[in-house]
A and B are shown apart, each in its own frame.
Chain A
């Protein structure tokens, strides 16, 4: 029950915002809290350039990766959440980002963000669950959460596009 109430409260806060940066920041904050993770990045798909780039990258600068690389890229390609509790043993993992940032990734949970046409418009990535590995419940929570926020993200992207 606690989580449901928490999401409802979050929903009200989310709707009060209209600025993309603020929306993304609030979503990232909430995703971390829901799953007790240390960091959250939200990647937005750029189809023209075949890139995924972060609108939110907690603690480090903006990350741009090619649409098929890393665990985030695989989430986009497979349209499925990925739970990786030993990233350094996973061939898809990109250790260079850790090297650059000095951060040590211990575990990763990603979920795709779908728009209303069922296309992947982004990926939510959580890193380093506190004192534990990610589990099935985290995966389900984040899947629900991604759907919950997807309408708002789609709307903001659409309005950005209409403006330009």
Chain B
């Protein structure tokens, strides 16, 4: 099993993650970890804002804040399909939004996404990884599903913090 040693060390990551209490601190950690383990060039975590029908991300590894309509792109399609999506040839995927590449100058070759569910089974975010040499495989997706679930408690708790602060 490709990720066996990863699983045995994942609790160390969890320990560090749970010492954070904000998205601003937690999201870069999650992104860096997922990118490193899977061996992708970039990682973004999109947060779902159902009131505005938008997905936003505070970081995209060097790219400034991105906001997209929650029904657009492969990330939007992930929400609709409620399951991970692999696109190993991004430009041939009808859901792919090439506009972001145009804006940033980055060339997306392949993409994998996984939805992050909360305890009510609403999708609160989407993990997205870009550009792995030789593309993403099913083992990567399996790990993404596990990892999305593993961090979902953290994201839900941080969302509760934010909702509580607004009161």
| Neighbour of B152 across the interface among A18, A143, A147, A159, CB < 8 A | A147
In the complex, the answer to whether A154 meets B156 with C-beta atoms within 8 Å is no
In the complex, the answer to whether B153 meets A147 with C-beta atoms within 8 Å is yes
Closest to B148 in A: A116
Contacts of A155 in B (CB 8 A): 7, 10-11, 14, 150
In the complex, the answer to whether A149 meets B153 with C-beta atoms within 8 Å is yes
| Neighbour of B120 across the interface among A143, A151, A162, CB < 8 A | A143
A158 at the interface (CB under 8 A from B): yes
Interface residues in B, total, Cβ within 8 A: 29
B164 at the interface (CB under 8 A from A): yes
In the complex, the answer to whether B153 meets A162 with C-beta atoms within 8 Å is no
A4 at the interface (CB under 8 A from B): yes
Interface residues in A, total, Cβ within 8 A: 27
Closest to B4 in A: A162
Report how far A14 CA is from B1 CA in the complex, Å: 26
Contacts of B17 in A (CB 8 A): 15
Known contacts A8-B157, A14-B18, A152-B14: does B1 contact A162 (CB below 8 Å)?
yes
Q: Interface 1/0s, chain B 1-32, versus A by CB < 8 A?
A: 10010011011001101110100000000000
A-B contact pairs, 21 of them (CB 8 A): A4-B157, A8-B161, A11-B18, A12-B15, A15-B14, A15-B15, A16-B15, A116-B148, A143-B120, A146-B119, A150-B149, A150-B153, A151-B150, A152-B11, A152-B150, A154-B146, A154-B149, A154-B150, A155-B7, A159-B8, A162-B1
B-binding residues in A (CB < 8 A)? 1, 4, 7-8, 11-12, 14-16, 18, 115-117, 143-144, 146-152, 154-155, 158-159, 162
Closest 3 CB pairs of A and B: A116-B149, A147-B119, A148-B153
A-binding residues in B (CB < 8 A)? 1, 4, 7-8, 10-11, 14-15, 17-19, 21, 118-120, 145-146, 148-154, 156-157, 160-161, 164
